[in-house]
């Protein structure tokens, strides 16, 4: 990255891996965003701390830039707005609205609609005018077990002219709850930020904690964490592939992939003690070791899984009804994906070939050599194809881990770092990169913890993906992204 004026005048606050933290001025805040965007940088997260000390609040922006993570800090005087980033990174808009509702800090961007306040005042949805245009309001309560979200469609007939989402209905006070937990136990809550990403978030939390504490985890622990992460990816992709088949009217796909997911979960429980690994990653390593019998159970499961997935992929590809529903539906062109900051699985299906496991690899991914999946088609079919490719790659990675798992301890002791220590952890989960910003408080407490789910970036893109499609295809489009309500509503 070239030297910029904002970089020359910034103040390095920390070199704690895996991030460099720089403090910038208000004038440099937006300039830095523009420079990073022009150089291919990605905005990963944006959050704020209203109690920053010395009468000032702190706003933080995390960027993936070059071969590392850059955290920019901006101190803001109490009551003053901070420069908005929405015109540079559109995904920042909703993050800034959430900051306003949770901390009282507002940006200079124009969208001042509330993020969390529901039912107390009219919400200014964007209206589409014209002959024959009408609105279909869906939710926030849905006919199923999914979490609440409101979707307002402006349509002519069944054709979608505009979709606007209103989320933020499941606010749970997770960030506040973190401050009531011990620093060495916060990974349990992190794992529950979004239950389908337990390994992802608990690993990101522990990565930040271990960086602050100066702890290098044993090699075996790192490999076991990667094993858990790939099992989590497999379980979610198998479940999604079945659900997507079902949404296309192909119930056979749902039954078969549900069966395969169940077999995987049983093998995971036999090997690591739980079907869903919410408490597997702990400070210093993992909670349980992998015994030979457990490794054998996982190996046998993967050996049985691979040929069945390949056969089911051929069935999906050959089924005319499934092809008709998938192909061309919910398309997000690569240029739009780049503009809106689409990331993770959905981004890779729209030409955004970025995967932290390959591009900024944690151990042992630096040794395993992940093969990135990707497409430039950007439709439901592409997102399904990426899932199939990633299932096959995760099966390969699980086999590699089982075959080359280092000997030694599965955990190392961790002592809580001193108050004021700050670090960031970031892990490529099955949905995309998940980030945890962690700051230590006194006596082993948590002063602040901010977990960021990639759904923040990707929810707004669904609004564009739905345009020019028919209303009955929306459940299929939505499921092809499969974003988290809970994970981005803290």
State pLDDT tens for residues 119-155: 777 889 999 999 999 999 998 888 777 788 999 999 9
* Domain architecture of the chain: domains with CATH: 5-103 (3.30.460.80), 176-488 (1.10.645.10)
Question: Under 8 Å CB-to-CB from 6, ≥6 apart: which residues?
Answer: 24, 25, 28, 31, 32, 35
Burial of 176 from C-beta contacts in 10 A (0-12 / 13-18 / 19+): exposed
Place of tokens 């529901």: 118
Provide the edge-to-edge strand list for the sheet that holds 433-440. 422-428, 433-440, 446-452
Instruction: Find, among 197, 228, 239, 190, the residue nearest to 432 by Cα.
Output: 197
pLDDT at 1: 45
pLDDT at 407: 97
In 10 A of CB 330, how many CB atoms? Answer: 28
Alpha-carbon span 342 to 464, nearest angstrom? 11
Alpha-carbon span 175 to 188, nearest angstrom? 13
Instruction: Find, among 256, 254, 255, the residue nearest to 245 by Cα.
Output: 254
pLDDT at 121: 78
Contact 244, 313 (CB under 8 A): no
pLDDT at 50: 84
Q: What is the pTM of this model?
A: 0.95
Report the sign of the C-alpha dihedral through residues 340, 324, 248, 389, in that order.
negative
- The string of pLDDT tens digits covering residues 361-378 is 999 999 999 999 999 999
Give the chain's residues under pLDDT 70. 1-3, 6, 8-11, 13-18, 51-55
Contact 28, 9 (CB under 8 A): yes
Helix, strand, or coil here: 165? Answer: strand
Instruction: Find, among 126, 395, 58, 362, the residue nearest to 235 by Cα.
Output: 395
> Across all residues in the chain, what is the average pLDDT?
93
Report the sign of the C-alpha dihedral through residues 395, 400, 406, 407, in that order.
positive
């Amino acid at each position: 990255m070239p030297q910029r004026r904002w970089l020359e005048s910034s103040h390095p606050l920390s070199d704690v891996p895996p991030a460099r933290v720089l403090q910038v001025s208000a004038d440099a805040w937006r300039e830095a965003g523009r420079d990073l965007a022009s150089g291919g940088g990605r905005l990963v997260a944006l959050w704020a701390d209203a109690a920053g000390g010395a009468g000032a609040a702190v706003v933080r922006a995390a960027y993936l830039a070059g071969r590392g993570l850059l955290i920019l800090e901006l101190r803001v005087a109490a009551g003053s707005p901070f420069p908005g980033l929405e015109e540079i990174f559109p995904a920042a808009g909703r993050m800034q609205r959430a900051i306003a509702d949770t901390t009282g800090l507002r940006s200079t961007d124009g969208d001042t609609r509330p993020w969390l306040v529901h039912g107390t005042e009219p919400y200014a949805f964007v209206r589409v005018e014209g002959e024959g245009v009408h609105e279909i309001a869906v939710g926030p309560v849905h006919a199923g077990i999914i979490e609440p979200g409101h979707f307002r469609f402006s349509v002519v007939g069944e054709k979608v002219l505009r979709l606007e989402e209103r989320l933020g209905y499941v606010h749970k006070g997770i960030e506040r709850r973190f401050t009531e937990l011990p620093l060495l136990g916060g990974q349990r809550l992190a794992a529950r930020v979004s239950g389908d990403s337990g390994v992802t978030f608990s690993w990101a939390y522990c990565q930040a904690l271990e960086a602050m504490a100066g702890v290098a985890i044993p090699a075996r622990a790192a490999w076991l964490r990667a094993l858990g992460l790939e099992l989590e990816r497999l379980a979610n992709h198998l479940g999604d592939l079945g659900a997507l088949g079902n949404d296309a009217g192909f119930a056979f796909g749902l039954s078969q992939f549900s069966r395969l997911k169940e077999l995987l979960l049983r093998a995971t429980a036999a090997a690591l003690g739980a079907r869903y690994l919410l408490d597997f990653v702990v400070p210093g390593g993992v909670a349980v070791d992998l015994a030979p019998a457990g490794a054998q159970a996982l190996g046998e499961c993967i050996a049985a899984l691979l040929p069945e997935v390949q056969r089911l992929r051929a069935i999906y590809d050959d089924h005319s009804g499934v092809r008709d529903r998938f192909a061309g539906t919910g398309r997000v062109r690569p240029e739009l994906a780049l503009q809106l900051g689409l990331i993770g699985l959905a981004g890779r299906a729209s030409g955004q070939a970025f995967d932290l496991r390959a591009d900024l690899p944690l151990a042992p991914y630096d040794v395993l050599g992940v093969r990135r999946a990707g497409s430039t088609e950007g439709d439901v079919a592409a997102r399904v194809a990426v899932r199939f490719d990633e299932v096959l790659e995760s099966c390969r990675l699980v086999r590699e881990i089982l075959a080359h798992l280092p000997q030694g301890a599965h955990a190392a002791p961790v002592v809580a770092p001193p108050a004021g220590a700050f670090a960031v952890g970031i892990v490529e989960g099955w949905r995309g990169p998940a980030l945890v910003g962690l700051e230590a408080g006194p006596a082993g407490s948590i002063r602040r913890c901010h977990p960021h789910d990639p759904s923040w970036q990707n929810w707004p893109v669904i609004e564009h993906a739905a345009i020019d499609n028919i209303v009955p295809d929306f459940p299929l489009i939505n499921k092809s992204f499969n974003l988290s309500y809970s994970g981005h509503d803290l």
